[in-house]
């Protein structure tokens, strides 16, 4: 009965377990859209792709290859291929209205989970594996609801696709290798590569390892060759999406990331809490490792590992889990992410099911080892939670140890199988609900409700009335500040036609990042290059930001003024009259070599009246010469200099730490930039951190006692404080935290810069120099304090200089000249730049369009300017400009698919003839 209805029983169990998990979200009007990447990346990508699909199917129109309103402009493939273009589960969205996409998104999460389990059952029943139907059923539930799926379902829905694909890919490899059936391998290779190039890399490595492990079954070189040919055909068929996407990847910021974030070993806390990570599931997993394994799964691993004839098979997974370099290799030679563990859950689920059939073979030592892993895990949990016994994970560990004890009893195998199966299902449910317990709490949820999403959508649509859609707009990150989210830009305004330059995608154009890196915008990150441009006035104008959408009364760069007084849900527009057009004719041409010798602020000023090229030139920017150094000193009565060395060691104090500046009269209408170089941070040792924390505690008490109006703290107890501090921080006793924040305060203007730690997989970048916008100049001729506040205890040292860049009348003159001399006829429309420009001598038409190899022209030579933007060389006389954009290698991808189709047809015909002959 169970054999005939295995899929039905799985679906019934999914309805029970899934209903217990997801029904509360439906009852509370909560979507499954994460307020971080879900709201800022995944939903906007789906909205845009939905529009693309409808135009493609109903109007037969493909979108522009160049998306002018994504950031400063970027390629369509570069933006959307990673998220939606290859995700077949997004294709049915074209049948629904845009207003229904949030619901569609949530439902698709559940559908993907269901299909993951069905894929597991389908494959296990077709591999030469001896396992009962009860074992298959439990294995499918483990595969569907364990750690990786538990986390990904609520964070990155398309991360579930590999769980569906991987078993089918393994089956296809098996069928080709053993049974000489190649159709499945061609199909699965195509789907794997079409779905997502990043996951294809991980899945491909997994399939390759499986294929190599079957080498002893390869009977002939001919058979191996046909297997490789099948993979090649599938790859060619996926080429229309794969080739342009990979091409764009190598023009993206991520392709130049630091290997393994510079780590040789993980932090000690990772190893100390490894057992807990194996059993528990976290909403903020260390290095993307979320085990979420059942007790029966741990028992199965111990049991079957001890039976392995060749223990060297354990070397690879051990190295991958314990060394950052292994995880980095499987993560595309970038950050040390353990997303590869999605491959491991397939054999783990299989062994769990097989273990259910072999309970009689269990040995006491196996249960002792599994129990020891549970103890190690619980100790890691206690260590990571300050040794608090009042922990929400206690139920998870209680079920874990109950399972171990039940397996050790003398109950019949049938009784143990039944009871353990029930407890395992309950454990999966408890794990899921434990992980996402806060998502049903109104004040703590990181998921957005349908009502709030509609309100945000409505607000963004209303804000479009404040902007000129033909010009660039920057939307403040405060737009989503009422959600539990981060400070990254959101792509939602763009998806809803507000046309913000905010661009928060996994693949950012490296040209944009390079250009902004040279002017040292401290808000730039690998995934969010533009962000707020650190609210720098000259840079914002030069890059064409016409309008800034922000809250009423929020401080703005000097040129941006609120003239209309409109108030839409406490938001308004600030407009600049100095915003540069997309194309300008700069007066000066500066060599890249000389440009790089300037300070970050001087480079920013150079962009206001000059174009930077690789061609040697002795010209200098006139406006950059107006940048001046501000006098700085370590104290208000000290020696004033252009540059000082600053050193700070964490200490208890009521007075702010920092340095002093003194402005000259000529620096009145300027914006001040704090330029830090040779930045070094040495964290305090654990012992010194404890001493500093105790010193801060004593200092606070002494300050209280010194103030007669303060209430005396009669609970003051240094010994108890030290004891509590040690418990709470013991997990980090041997770690060196490389991350910190530094906040500058000048007058009323605050600015915070972040050095992310090496455990941050998306935003890590080593910062040894920074430029921080202090705001507009304030007091003249008097010593002003610039306060510095550091978040982590340790020693900080760096060199300080402060540069003043004009933002008043002198910049107005430069900006208005650039606007007046800009060619009015040159425009960017639908993948083409066209217009007529007449010049008296050879010049360069500058743009703030990111440089990309997809730009081509038969009329003018194209050059990279400003170390990241597109320039057009103009000859003397009239230039009839026509520059077009096509995604690089898009036609190579199409022709590759045609070749793949021809080879496929030939292959099918050849196989048919061979079979007919035999």
Mean pLDDT of 383-393: 88
Q: For a pLDDT cut of 90, what percent of the chain falls above it?
A: 70
Which run of H or E residues covers position 431? Answer: helix 413-435
Could you give the CA distance from residue 294 to residue 424 in angstroms, rounded to a whole number?
7
> Which tens digits make up the pLDDT trace of 700-749?
888 888 887 778 788 899 999 999 999 999 888 888 777 999 999 999 99
Could you give the CA distance from residue 166 to residue 116 in angstroms, rounded to a whole number?
9
Which run of H or E residues covers position 201? Answer: helix 197-213
Indicate the residue among 810, 832, 866 that finishes a domain. Answer: 810
In 3D, which of 175, 160, 172, 174 has the Cα closest to residue 115?
Answer: 160
> Which tens digits make up the pLDDT trace of 514-569?
999 999 898 888 888 898 999 999 999 999 999 999 988 889 999 999 987 788 88
pLDDT of residue 1: 52
For residue 862, the tally of other CB atoms under 10 A from its CB is 16
516/547 same-domain check: yes
756/852 same-domain check: no
632/696 same-domain check: yes
Contact between 290 and 344 under an 8 Å Cβ cutoff? The reply is no
The yes-or-no verdict on residue 77 having pLDDT over 80 is: yes
**Phi, psi for 340 (deg, rounded to 5):** -60, -20
Q: For residue 760, what are the CA distances in angstroms to 143, 256, 303, 739?
A: 27, 16, 35, 9
Q: For residue 564, what are the CA distances in angstroms to 544, 576, 747?
A: 20, 12, 28
Could you give the CA distance from residue 356 to residue 414 in angstroms, rounded to a whole number?
10
- What sign results for the dihedral spanned by CA atoms 501, 504, 509, 514? positive
Contact between 447 and 25 under an 8 Å Cβ cutoff? The reply is yes
Mean pLDDT of 414-424: 93
* Mean pLDDT estimate for the chain: 91
pLDDT of residue 485: 53
pLDDT of residue 87: 96
Which run of H or E residues covers position 177? Answer: helix 161-179
What are 786's strand-pairing partners?
659
658: left (phi over 0), alpha (psi -120 to 50) or beta: left
pLDDT of residue 483: 57
Place of tokens 């395992």: 424
Q: In this structure, is residue 550 part of a structural domain?
A: yes
Mean pLDDT of 679-690: 93
What are 591's strand-pairing partners?
613
pLDDT of residue 480: 64
51: left (phi over 0), alpha (psi -120 to 50) or beta: alpha
Cβ neighbors of 871 (< 8 A, separation 6 or more) are 611, 613, 844, 845, 846, 847, 862, 863, 864, 865
In 3D, which of 64, 62, 52 has the Cα closest to residue 832?
Answer: 64
In 3D, which of 368, 370, 363, 359 has the Cα closest to residue 419?
Answer: 359
Q: In this structure, is residue 761 part of a structural domain?
A: yes
634/667 same-domain check: yes
Contact between 586 and 818 under an 8 Å Cβ cutoff? The reply is yes
pLDDT of residue 507: 86
Structure tokens at 233: 């055909």
> Which tens digits make up the pLDDT trace of 3-21?
568 999 999 999 999 999 9
Indicate the burial class of 577 (C-beta count within 10 angstroms; 0-12, 13-18, 19 or more): middle
> Which tens digits make up the pLDDT trace of 160-169?
999 999 999 9
Could you give the CA distance from residue 475 to residue 502 in angstroms, rounded to a whole number?
7
Report if pTM > 0.75: yes
701/770 same-domain check: yes
Contact between 372 and 391 under an 8 Å Cβ cutoff? The reply is no
Contact between 894 and 233 under an 8 Å Cβ cutoff? The reply is no
Confidence of residue 2 (pLDDT cuts 50, 70, 90): low
129 three-class SS: coil
Helices 101-124 & 450-463 angle (0-180, nearest 10): 130
User: Which letter does DSSP use for residue 135 in this model?
Assistant: H
Place of tokens 């899945």: 203
Structure tokens at 213: 């492990």
For residue 914, the tally of other CB atoms under 10 A from its CB is 9
> Which tens digits make up the pLDDT trace of 806-862?
999 999 999 999 999 999 999 999 999 999 999 999 999 999 999 999 999 999 999
User: Which letter does DSSP use for residue 56 in this model?
Assistant: I
Could you give the CA distance from residue 453 to residue 30 in angstroms, rounded to a whole number?
10
In 3D, which of 321, 319, 317 has the Cα closest to residue 273?
Answer: 321
Contact between 578 and 817 under an 8 Å Cβ cutoff? The reply is no
Q: Residues 439, 444, 447, 451: what is their CA dihedral angle, to the nearest 10 degrees?
A: 110
* Residue 670 CA from chain centroid, whole number: 36
Pick the more confident residue, 481 or 868: 868
Domain extent, residue 740, equals: 627-810
Contact between 138 and 152 under an 8 Å Cβ cutoff? The reply is no
Contact between 680 and 797 under an 8 Å Cβ cutoff? The reply is yes
849/806 same-domain check: no
The yes-or-no verdict on residue 376 having pLDDT over 90 is: yes
568/635 same-domain check: no
pLDDT of residue 462: 87
If you write DSSP's letter for every residue of 889-914 in order, what string do you get? THHHHHHHHHHHHHHHHHHHHHHHHH
Indicate the residue among 549, 584, 619 that finishes a domain. Answer: 584
Indicate the residue among 780, 810, 840 that finishes a domain. Answer: 810
In 3D, which of 497, 495, 489 has the Cα closest to residue 465?
Answer: 497
In 3D, which of 305, 306, 284, 280 has the Cα closest to residue 295?
Answer: 280
> Which tens digits make up the pLDDT trace of 95-126?
999 999 999 999 999 999 999 999 999 999 99
Q: In this structure, is residue 57 part of a structural domain?
A: no
494/559 same-domain check: yes
788/646 same-domain check: yes
Which residues in 230-266 are b (16+ Cβ under 10 Å) and which e? Answer: bbebbbbbbbbbbbbbbbbbebbbbeebeebbebeeb
**Phi, psi for 98 (deg, rounded to 5):** -60, -35
| Total domains present in the chain | 3
541/566 same-domain check: yes
Confidence of residue 200 (pLDDT cuts 50, 70, 90): very high
Could you give the CA distance from residue 668 to residue 656 in angstroms, rounded to a whole number?
25
Structure tokens at 783: 């010593």
Mean pLDDT of 396-406: 95
Cβ neighbors of 375 (< 8 A, separation 6 or more) are none
675/744 same-domain check: yes
Pairing outcome for strands 869-874 and 862-865: antiparallel
What are 174's strand-pairing partners?
none
Residues in the chain: 918
775/833 same-domain check: no
Could you give the CA distance from residue 529 to residue 504 in angstroms, rounded to a whole number?
8
pLDDT of residue 257: 76
What are 648's strand-pairing partners?
796
Mean pLDDT of 174-182: 91
Confidence of residue 426 (pLDDT cuts 50, 70, 90): very high
Indicate the burial class of 379 (C-beta count within 10 angstroms; 0-12, 13-18, 19 or more): middle
Structure tokens at 677: 């170089």
Q: In this structure, is residue 362 part of a structural domain?
A: no
Q: In this structure, is residue 715 part of a structural domain?
A: yes
Which run of H or E residues covers position 802? Answer: strand 794-806
For residue 295, the tally of other CB atoms under 10 A from its CB is 29
In 3D, which of 623, 587, 544, 583 has the Cα closest to residue 843?
Answer: 587
pLDDT of residue 799: 96
Could you give the CA distance from residue 210 to residue 257 in angstroms, rounded to a whole number?
29
Which run of H or E residues covers position 449? Answer: strand 447-449
pLDDT of residue 379: 95
> What Rg, from alpha-carbon coordinates, does the chain have?
31
Could you give the CA distance from residue 77 to residue 682 in angstroms, rounded to a whole number?
42
If you write DSSP's letter for every residue of 554-601 in order, what string do you get? ----TTEE--S---BTTEEEEEETTPPPSEE--SEEEEHHHHHHS-HH
Structure tokens at 221: 């070189």
237 three-class SS: helix
Could you give the CA distance from residue 761 to residue 263 in angstroms, rounded to a whole number?
12
- In 624-717, DSSP assigns E strands to 628-633, 644-649, 657-662, 670-683
In 3D, which of 105, 113, 107 has the Cα closest to residue 33?
Answer: 105
Q: In this structure, is residue 516 part of a structural domain?
A: yes
322: left (phi over 0), alpha (psi -120 to 50) or beta: alpha
For residue 860, the tally of other CB atoms under 10 A from its CB is 20
Confidence of residue 173 (pLDDT cuts 50, 70, 90): very high
Q: In this structure, is residue 489 part of a structural domain?
A: yes
Q: In this structure, is residue 894 part of a structural domain?
A: no
């Amino acid at each position: 009965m169970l054999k005939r209805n295995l899929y039905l029983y799985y679906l019934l169990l999914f309805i029970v377990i899934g209903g217990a998990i997801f029904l509360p979200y439906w009852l509370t009007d909560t979507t499954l859209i994460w307020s971080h990447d879900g709201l800022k990346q995944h939903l906007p990508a789906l909205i845009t792709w939905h529009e693309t699909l409808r135009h493609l199917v109903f109007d037969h129109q493909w979108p522009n290859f160049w998306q002018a309103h994504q950031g400063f402009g970027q390629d369509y493939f570069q933006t959307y291929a990673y998220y939606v273009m290859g995700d077949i589960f997004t294709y049915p969205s074209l049948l629904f209205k845009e207003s229904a996409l949030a619901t569609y998104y949530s439902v698709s999460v559940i559908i993907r989970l269901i299909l993951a389990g069905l894929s597991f059952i389908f494959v296990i029943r077709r591999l030469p594996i001896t396992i009962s139907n009860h074992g298959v059923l439990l294995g499918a539930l483990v595969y569907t609801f364990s750690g990786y799926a538990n986390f990904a379902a609520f964070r990155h829905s398309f991360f579930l696709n590999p769980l569906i694909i991987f078993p089918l890919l393994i089956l296809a490899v098996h069928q080709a290798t053993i049974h000489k059936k190649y159709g499945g391998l061609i199909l699965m290779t195509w789907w794997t590569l079409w779905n997502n190039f990043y996951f294809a890399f991980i899945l491909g490595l997994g399939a390759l390892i499986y294929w190599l492990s079957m080498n002893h079954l390869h009977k002939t070189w001919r058979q191996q060759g046909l297997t490789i040919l099948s993979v090649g055909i599938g790859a060619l068929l996926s080429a229309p999406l794969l080739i342009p996407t990979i091409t764009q990847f190598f023009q993206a910021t991520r392709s130049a990331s630091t290997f393994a974030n510079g780590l040789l070993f993980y932090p000690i806390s990772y190893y100390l809490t490894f057992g807990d990570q194996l059993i528990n599931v976290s909403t903020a997993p260390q290095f993307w490792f979320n085990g979420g394994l059942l007790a029966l799964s741990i028992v199965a691993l111990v049991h079957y590992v001890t039976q392995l004839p060749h223990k060297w098979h354990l070397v690879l997974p051990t190295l991958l889990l314990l060394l950052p370099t292994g995880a980095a290799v499987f993560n595309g030679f970038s950050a040390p992410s353990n997303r590869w563990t999605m491959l491991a859950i397939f054999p783990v689920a299989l062994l769990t099911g097989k273990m259910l059939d072999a309970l009689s073979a269990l040995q006491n030592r196996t249960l002792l080892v599994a129990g020891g892993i549970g103890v190690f895990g619980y100790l890691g949990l206690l260590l990571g939670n300050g040794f608090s016994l009042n922990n929400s994970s206690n139920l998870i560990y209680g079920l874990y140890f109950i399972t171990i004890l039940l397996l050790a009893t003398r109950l019949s195998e049938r009784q143990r199988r039944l009871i353990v199966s029930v407890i395992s299902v309950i454990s999966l449910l408890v794990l899921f609900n434990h992980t996402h317990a806060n998502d049903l709490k109104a004040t703590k949820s990181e998921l957005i409700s349908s009502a709030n999403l509609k309100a945000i959508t409505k607000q963004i649509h209303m804000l479009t009335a404040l902007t000129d859609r033909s010009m660039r707009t920057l939307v403040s990150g405060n737009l989503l500040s009422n959600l539990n989210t981060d400070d990254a830009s959101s792509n939602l305004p763009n998806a809803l036609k507000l046309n913000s330059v905010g661009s928060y995608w996994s693949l950012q154009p490296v040209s944009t990042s390079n250009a902004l890196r040279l002017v040292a915008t401290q808000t730039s990150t690998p995934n969010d290059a533009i962000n707020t441009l650190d609210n720098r006035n000259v840079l914002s104008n030069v890059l064409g930001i016409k309008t800034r959408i922000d809250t009423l009364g929020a401080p703005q760069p000097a040129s941006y003024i609120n003239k209309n007084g409109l108030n839409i849900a406490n938001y308004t527009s600030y407009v600049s009259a100095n915003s540069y057009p997309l194309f300008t004719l700069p007066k000066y041409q500066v060599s890249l070599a000389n440009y790089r010798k300037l300070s970050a602020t001087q480079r920013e000023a150079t962009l206001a009246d000059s174009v930077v090229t690789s061609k040697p030139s002795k010209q200098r920017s006139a406006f950059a010469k107006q940048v001046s150094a501000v006098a700085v000193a370590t104290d208000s009565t000290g020696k004033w200099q252009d540059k000082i060395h600053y050193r700070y060691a964490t200490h208890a104090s009521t007075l702010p730490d920092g340095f002093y500046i003194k402005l000259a009269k000529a620096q009145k209408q300027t914006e001040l930039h704090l330029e830090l170089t040779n930045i070094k941070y040495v964290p305090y040792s654990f012992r010194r951190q404890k001493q500093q924390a105790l010193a801060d505690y004593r200092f606070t008490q002494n300050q209280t006692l010194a103030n007669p109006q303060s209430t005396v703290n009669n609970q003051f107890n240094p010994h108890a404080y030290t004891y509590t501090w040690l418990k709470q921080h013991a997990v980090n006793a041997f770690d060196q935290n490389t991350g910190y924040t530094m906040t500058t305060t000048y007058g009323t203007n605050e600015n915070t810069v972040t050095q992310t730690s090496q455990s941050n997989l998306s935003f890590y970048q080593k910062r040894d120099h920074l430029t921080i916008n202090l705001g507009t100049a304030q007091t003249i001729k008097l010593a002003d304090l610039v306060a510095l506040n550091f978040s982590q205890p340790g020693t900080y040292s760096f060199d300080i200089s402060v540069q003043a860049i004009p933002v008043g009348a002198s910049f107005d003159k430069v900006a208005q000249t650039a606007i007046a001399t800009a060619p009015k006829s040159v425009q960017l429309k639908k993948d083409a730049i066209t217009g007529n420009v007449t010049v008296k001598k050879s010049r360069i038409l500058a743009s703030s369009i990111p440089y990309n190899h997809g730009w081509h022209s038969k009329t003018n030579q194209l050059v990279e300017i400003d170390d990241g933007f597109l320039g057009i060389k103009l000859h003397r006389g009239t230039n009839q400009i026509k520059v077009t954009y096509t995604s690089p290698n898009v036609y190579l991808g199409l022709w590759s698919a045609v070749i793949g189709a021809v080879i496929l047809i030939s292959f099918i015909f050849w196989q048919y003839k061979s079979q007919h002959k035999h």
